[in-house]
Amino acid sequence: MQNQFHSLRNFLRLSVLMLMLAAFAAPVAAQSVRPPGNAVNLDDGIEEGPSNALGDLSDTEIWDNFRGGNPRDIFAPAPEGQVMTTTGQQWRMIREKFIRKYLGWAPLIVIGLLAVFYFAKGPMKISAGRSGKTIPRFTLSARVAHWFMAAVFIILGLSGMIILLGRVVIAPYFGLEFNSVLTSAAMQGHNLFGPVFIFALIWLFIKFIRGNFFQWVDLKWISKLGGFFGGHVSSGQFNFGEKSWFWMVIIVGSVISVTGVIMLFPGLVDDIRWLQLSTILHALGAVGLIAVAFGHIYVGTIGMEGSLDSMLKGEVDENWAKEHHDLWYEEMTGKSASETKAPEETP
């Protein structure tokens, strides 16, 4: 019913456009019509032909009238009876000339930088070695929430990249037919897993909000660049980098969720510019998250010794905790983090 209504509205708009074009074109067309040979000039009081046949408006003004409003102000309300959407062209240009052309490079650049960092500095080892004693860091439900989000994120990230970049990355090498099949599959998968992401985001927020509020101690972490280039940095349960990642996921994830819902149910908005804005924000936010996620994955796996244990086993080595989350260690154990225990001798 709504589609029919939109079709009718589009048809009416097109009709108005055609009528206006005809109205403007009529005087111009009249000038090129020669009178027949037997035509008689009637004395109708008009000595010359119709004056001002081209009207008082320039072409720019005519098209401005078609467009309505100021084409440079994309947030201006759509005028009544507007027959042309200028922002559509602007949206297309942003999508084709910027997003599709350059955005896909962002994750690759991050991967490249991480590779350079890894080969230059190597992984961050536990300087005192593993103590052999562990302390609990994440509960089972927190770990399940994390991996649940990770699984959904990977599915949506892959399918989203195929939808966004398939035509420029896959089609030239594997053919249009293959890209069509892949994009069709990715589109359905993406639409279906989108709502699941919202659920995962809420679950993640509830499970990890505690401990992720910024504190003064985070300034020290920032001033020492997280200890990635040497030096010890104090932090609580989560350091500044982890907190920033958490809030980025929550805020950008919320934007992606809202824009995704708008795209999934376009009937929710009555102005096409919301849809255009949604596609741009959705792509920017998603690719941004994917790019930063590689950094998160790096630190959580090969980049830092002992960090993966927290999400796989739910426990971390005491020396790891003392080194990277000393304030949290002291809070958890009631012991001083400065007393570093020598690594246990292995038989």
- Which listed residue (192, 209, 225, 268) binds another protein by CB under 8 A? 192
Binding residues for another protein restricted to 150-169, rule: CB under 8 A: 151-152
Given 14, 26, 46, 181, the residue binding another protein (CB under 8 A): 181
In the structure encoding, which two tokens stand for residue 108, read together? Answer: 């690759």
Smallest distance, Å, CB 92 to another protein? 24
Give the Cα separation of 345 and 316 in Å (integer).
Answer: 18
Cα separation, 282 vs 274, in Å, equals 12
- For 198, the token pair is 């919202």
Piece of 13-21, 180-188, 205-213, 331-339 that binds another protein (CB under 8 A): 180-188
Question: Does residue 187 touch another protein according to CB under 8 A?
Answer: yes
Look at residue 18 and give its three-state secondary structure: helix
For residues 234 and 338, give the distance between their C-alpha atoms in angstroms, rounded to a whole number.
11
Which residue in 104, 189, 211, 288 binds another protein (CB under 8 A)?
A: 189
From 336, 287, 310, select the one nearest 138 (Cα to Cα): 310
Closer CB to another protein, residue 93 or residue 154? 154
Which residue, 279 or 310, has its beta carbon nearer to another protein? 310
Residue 174 binds to another protein (criterion: CB under 8 A): no
Per CB under 8 A, contacts with another protein among 134-153 are 140-141, 143-144, 147-148, 151-152
Judged by CB under 8 A, the chain residues 307 through 346 that form the site for another protein are: 312-314
CB atoms within 10 A of CB 322: 26
Considering only 65, 82, 191, 212, the residue that binds another protein (CB under 8 A) is: 191
CB-based burial label for 275 (10 Å; 0-12, 13-18, 19+): middle
Least Å from the CB of residue 208 to another protein = 15
Cβ atoms of 273 and 265 closer than 8 Å: no
- d(Cα 93, Cα 202) in Å, to the nearest integer? 34
**CA atoms of 249 and 13, how far apart (whole Å):** 42
Report if residue 196 touches another protein, rule: CB under 8 A: yes
Residues of the shown chain interacting with another protein in the complex, contacts defined by CB under 8 A: 140-141, 143-144, 147-148, 151-152, 180-181, 184-189, 191-193, 195-196, 199-200, 312-314
